[in-house]
Amino acid sequence: MNTTPPASDDLGGGMELRRFIAPEIVLGRGALDRAGRHVAAYQGRKILLVTDENVRRAGWCGRVEESLRQAGCAYAIFDRLTPNPKDHEIMAGVDFYLRQGCDVLLAVGGGSVIDCAKCIGAAAANQRHILRFLDSTEGLLPAPPLICVPTTAGSGADVSQFAVVLDTRRRVKVALIGRSFVPEVTLVDPETIATLPPEYTAACGMDALIHALEAYLSNASSPITDLYALEAARLIRPHLIQAVNDSTNMQSHQAMMLGSLLAGMAFSNAGLGLIHAMGHAAGGLLDATHGAVLAAVFPSAARYQFANAAPRCRAFLRAMHPDFKIDCEDEALQALLDDFQELRNELGLPRTLAELGVRHSDLSALARNALQDVCLATAPVAPTLEDLEELFKEAYGRQ
């Protein structure tokens, strides 16, 4: 038996000072039917239920409403939002929240719905336009309690201290970070993702796997976030294709829901990196599905930022594929890139930004916007503007 203790490097972040924040988590079939009793525990006057048309059509919102009625909770519904929540949609939600006299938030939906609810809470509590949170999140009043029922497996928004909003004037997605964006409770019910169209399951799953990867290679990773990131990789990689191809496969849905949750806790606390910084810039311009944009920028961003991280690339690969053999550590990054590209092709996700509709004349603006993205703070390598211009050119036309 090998009893050699791990080298300090294996402890991720070398035991530098780190904190770990997570909400209360209720996980399993039937979790969404408990929404009423969890919301009632906050003894609010009125709940703002944030959702969207698709979630209402799928029936999940109706079940949550039934649990609210059973718990005797008064509520109003806000569903006037689109994917990638826009600044003006959020401010319309703030207005509705205040006019209705709400004091608790309940989000039922995917990452866009949850981010919208987070932003409504923060902006309403502080009587401030959501884009003014970019200046500073210091000294803010705490947001009202937020309970989440996620209906996609990918965003991690239900556990993270991030919220992403689309600045419509600048056409860029902006990531906000702060303790007040962490929900109080998340009710994770694997049944909810069975009704997702396969292309969404694919894009959300790719997003979740990239959360785990960027958290694991972040310069703010810790022994705790490493546990979550590697377990997320172990769950998501083998189950994603099955979840996309077979909507009746509950085992895969459960694995994806759990994997996404763990990846969310990893990146919430370790941060993300260049893949998300480039993805936010391009996603804001295109208003496209987040996971699809990440797939297109992945190879260029990953090759750049993980160039000196062979041991961690190898460990992540081994988490995804326990039997993976590699002769030389120098090959780990290329093997990781090959594996992601194979997955991307199987999932039918885009290979280039050109495929998604980006124009060559957009690339300089994308580079400037990515340079401002908060996710670069935890990227293992900090790019210059010139580096980003090159990286966007590569992502634009790579085949």
Which residues of the shown chain bind Fe ion in the complex (CB under 5 A)? 207
Of 392, 354, 358, nearest to 373 by C-alpha is 392
- Alpha carbon dihedral 154, 156, 162, 163, in 10-degree steps, equals 60
Measured from the CB atom, the residue of 102 and 272 that comes closer to Fe ion is 272
CB 272 within 8 A of CB 211: yes
Residue 321 beta carbon to Fe ion: minimum distance, rounded to whole angstroms: 23
Measured from the CB atom, the residue of 39 and 174 that comes closer to Fe ion is 174
CB 157 within 8 A of CB 118: yes
Residue 142 beta carbon to Fe ion: minimum distance, rounded to whole angstroms: 25
Measured from the CB atom, the residue of 158 and 207 that comes closer to Fe ion is 207
Measured from the CB atom, the residue of 246 and 287 that comes closer to Fe ion is 287
Q: Is 183 helix (H, G, I), strand (E, B) or coil?
A: coil
Residue 156 beta carbon to Fe ion: minimum distance, rounded to whole angstroms: 7
Q: Is the dihedral of CA 361, 363, 364, 368 positive or negative?
A: positive
Measured from the CB atom, the residue of 191 and 207 that comes closer to Fe ion is 207
378: phi then psi, degrees, rounded to nearest 5:
-110, 10
Q: From its phi and psi, is residue 196 left (phi > 0), alpha (psi between -120 and 50) or beta?
A: beta
Residue 259 beta carbon to Fe ion: minimum distance, rounded to whole angstroms: 14
122-142 CB burial, b ≥16 within 10 A, e <16: bbbbbeeebbebeeebeeeee
Measured from the CB atom, the residue of 52 and 207 that comes closer to Fe ion is 207
| H helices present in the chain, as ranges | 35-40, 53-58, 60-70, 87-99, 111-126, 198-216, 223-245, 250-270, 274-286, 290-305, 310-320, 332-347, 353-356, 363-371, 385-397
Paired with 50 in beta bridges are 78, 107
Measured from the CB atom, the residue of 149 and 203 that comes closer to Fe ion is 203
Residue 371 beta carbon to Fe ion: minimum distance, rounded to whole angstroms: 19
Residue 196 beta carbon to Fe ion: minimum distance, rounded to whole angstroms: 16
Instruction: Give the C-alpha separation, 130 to 124, whole Å.
Output: 9
Residue 207 beta carbon to Fe ion: minimum distance, rounded to whole angstroms: 4
Measured from the CB atom, the residue of 264 and 383 that comes closer to Fe ion is 264
Residue 386 beta carbon to Fe ion: minimum distance, rounded to whole angstroms: 26
Residue with the CB atom nearest Fe ion in the bound state: 207
Residue 91 beta carbon to Fe ion: minimum distance, rounded to whole angstroms: 23
Paired with 247 in beta bridges are none
Measured from the CB atom, the residue of 90 and 272 that comes closer to Fe ion is 272
* Complete DSSP assignment for 80-149: ---SS-BHHHHHHHHHHHHHTT--EEEEEESHHHHHHHHHHHHHHHHT--GGGGGT--TTPPPPPPEEEE
Instruction: Give the C-alpha separation, 306 to 154, whole Å.
Output: 22
